Amino acid sequence: MAFNLFKRKYTPRPIFATLGVDMHCHLIPKVDDGSKCTEESIECLNTLSAVGYKKVIITPHFQYPRFPNKEDDIVNRYNELKKQAQDAGVEIEIAGIGGEYRIDSGFAQRLEKPQFLRVAGKYVLVEYSLHQQMMGSDELIFDLQMKGYEVILAHPERYPYLNVQGMRMEQLKNQGVFFQINVLSLGGFYGEEAKRKAYEMLDLGWVEFMGTDTHNTMYAQALSDLSRDRKIEKVLEKHTFMNSTLL
């Protein structure tokens, strides 16, 4: 049948079962640069399930002024998606809502009146700008920690101005910031530099969490392709991560 032409060429393998929980993705429809509709979210959730994940925590962007999301609204939309996914028979458990908070010019204000949606009710997932560093961003993470929050820095391998051998990254690690690498970085999805840094951090034992950072079906397809890679499976087996402690 013609329909079969559009089916995936390969069956995904459940190599991410050892992680169990995906704790970084953008699958609430139409709230950021992630999924564009419920159908796309459901397709991505099914792929996460097919590559081995049992649970997922969704983490929409909170970024000033690009994504002016409000926590209450996000929680409502999360509950809506959860119901729609259940109705559609999605197997992966939609197990929590967090946020990916950009350390930007609006972040100091967030710190004054904290309403953070935390990963597993515990960790604030933060990200830096992907292009240029903002003065004082490390200090804002420190301020967040001083307020008693546990902090996870999303995809440290992706910031071109942060080097694994540099003082800044080591300082963040020394002050107890958890690092989360994107699984797709291991296959070169974000380029050779991010890939190299990801492996360097793994070898240093600096990586506590792995996330998919799935935004849409293109990412889901890349994950599905990556699940065929035995080398990636070995990397996941070789290192110990904290994903399974989340839920």
Candidate segments 101-109, 133-141, 213-221, 229-237, binder of Fe ion by CB under 5 A: 213-221
Q: How far is the CB of 61 from Fe ion (least distance, A)?
A: 7
40 binds Fe ion (CB under 5 A): no
Using CB under 5 A, count the residues that bind Fe ion.
2
Query: Which of 213, 223, 226, 241 forms a contact with Fe ion (CB under 5 A)?
Result: 213
Q: How far is the CB of 107 from Fe ion (least distance, A)?
A: 16
| Nearer of residues 100 and 157 to Fe ion, judged by Cβ | 100
Candidate segments 44-52, 105-113, 211-219, 235-243, binder of Fe ion by CB under 5 A: 211-219
Task: State which residue has the least CB distance to Fe ion.
Answer: 213
Contact pattern from residue 165 through residue 204 relative to Fe ion, giving x for each residue in contact according to CB under 5 A and a dash for the rest = ----------------------------------------
22 binds Fe ion (CB under 5 A): no
| Nearer of residues 22 and 100 to Fe ion, judged by Cβ | 100
| Nearer of residues 43 and 213 to Fe ion, judged by Cβ | 213
Q: Is the dihedral of CA 8, 11, 15, 17 positive or negative?
A: positive
| Nearer of residues 152 and 233 to Fe ion, judged by Cβ | 152
155 Rama class: left (phi>0) / alpha (psi -120 to 50) / beta: left
Calpha distance 128→133 (Å, rounded) = 7
Burial 175-209 (b: 16+ CB within 10 A, else e): eebbbbbbbbbbbebbeeebbebbbebbeeebbbb
Query: Which of 100, 138, 157, 233 forms a contact with Fe ion (CB under 5 A)?
Result: 100
Q: How far is the CB of 10 from Fe ion (least distance, A)?
A: 26
Binding site for Fe ion (CB under 5 A): 100, 213
